[in-house]
Amino acid sequence: MTIVNKKKMNLPERKSTGRLILWLRNIAIIAALTGAFFLAYFLIPDFGFAVRYVIDILAHGDLERLKWYLLSFGAGAAIVSASIMIFQSVLAPLPAFVVTLTNGLLFGAFWGTLLSWSSSMAGAVLCFYIARLAGRPAVEHFVSNKGINYVENFFKRYGNNSVLIARLIPVISFDAVSYVAGITSISFWGFFWASAIGELPATIVYSWLGQNIPSLAKFGLWAFVCVAALLVLGFTVKKGLDRHMAGRNKKKAAANTASGLNDNNEF
């Protein structure tokens, strides 16, 4: 009996040690990949220049420069575009809509949507797994504390619907949501499908705008109208969910009150 008890007592220790080893291995993998990126950045001049050039393009929202940069790769333009989308998701919190508009301009609304949606989803999954494998300390290197706190409070309020609502509202950081989701209890598939559905409307709108930039004399007005429509959609869903949650909470409160009265009547 004594031997069995000792074995039982050792099980939690073994599990804890196994989790620690797994966590250290994951950290090592992420650190190695990050280190390889920065080594390439500093040791390969062409790669470093390309990274700085793309960051400058995205920071200034320069569609024309991005268009000609992608065209310079010929048949590989789509691969480069996907790489830029994933890069901005993981390492550089820069505006992704610039890439989406350019994809619509170069590849048309349908193929531009497919390219932008799939590459943004790849970036989201990568962010999610970095956070899931490495934990909050890693997330703090990619997202500010203010951003983390905002998204965490959003998740606490809306629970399982958080990712879908956040994806529908363009002003909420795509990357911050992906990283913070990874340190919550949300399942991967719950995160994936909510992101896939929520990201699609904005991707379609921006790709369509990108395709029609040459023929839209009043592009600024169209862009404003489309972004406003996306905001209205997101906040309408959010408001509807708020009403649903308020009604559910009211029913719970009424049920608890009734239960309390019944308990008192028994006495």
- Neighbouring residues of 69: CB distance < 8 A, sequence distance ≥ 6: 53, 54, 57
Residue 212 maps to a domain: yes
pLDDT reported for residue 1: 47
Nearest of 51, 133, 120 to residue 92 by alpha carbon: 51
CB 207 within 8 A of CB 152: no
pLDDT reported for residue 6: 47
Residue 10 maps to a domain: no
Domain of residue 116, residue span:
23-245
Name the domain count of the chain: 1
Check whether 148 has a pLDDT greater than 90: no
* pTM (global) more than 0.75: no
Residue 235 maps to a domain: yes
pLDDT reported for residue 99: 92
Check whether 2 has a pLDDT greater than 50: no
Residue 201, Cβ density class (10 Å: 0-12 exposed, 13-18 middle, ≥19 buried) = middle
- Which amino acid belongs to residue 17? T
Residues 4-36 have pLDDT tens digits of 454 454 545 566 676 667 667 767 777 777 778
Q: In which band, very low, low, confident or very high, does the pLDDT at 70 lie, cut at 50, 70 and 90? A: very high
pLDDT reported for residue 60: 83
Check whether 46 has a pLDDT greater than 80: yes
Residue 12 maps to a domain: no
Rounded to an integer, the average pLDDT of 140-166 is 83
Dist. CA 149–CA 139, nearest whole Å: 12
Residue 3 maps to a domain: no
Residue 254 maps to a domain: no
Question: Average pLDDT of the chain?
Answer: 78
Residue 255 maps to a domain: no
| The two three-digit tokens of residue 234, written as one number | 């997101």
Check whether 220 has a pLDDT greater than 50: yes
Residue 239 maps to a domain: yes
CB 177 within 8 A of CB 125: no
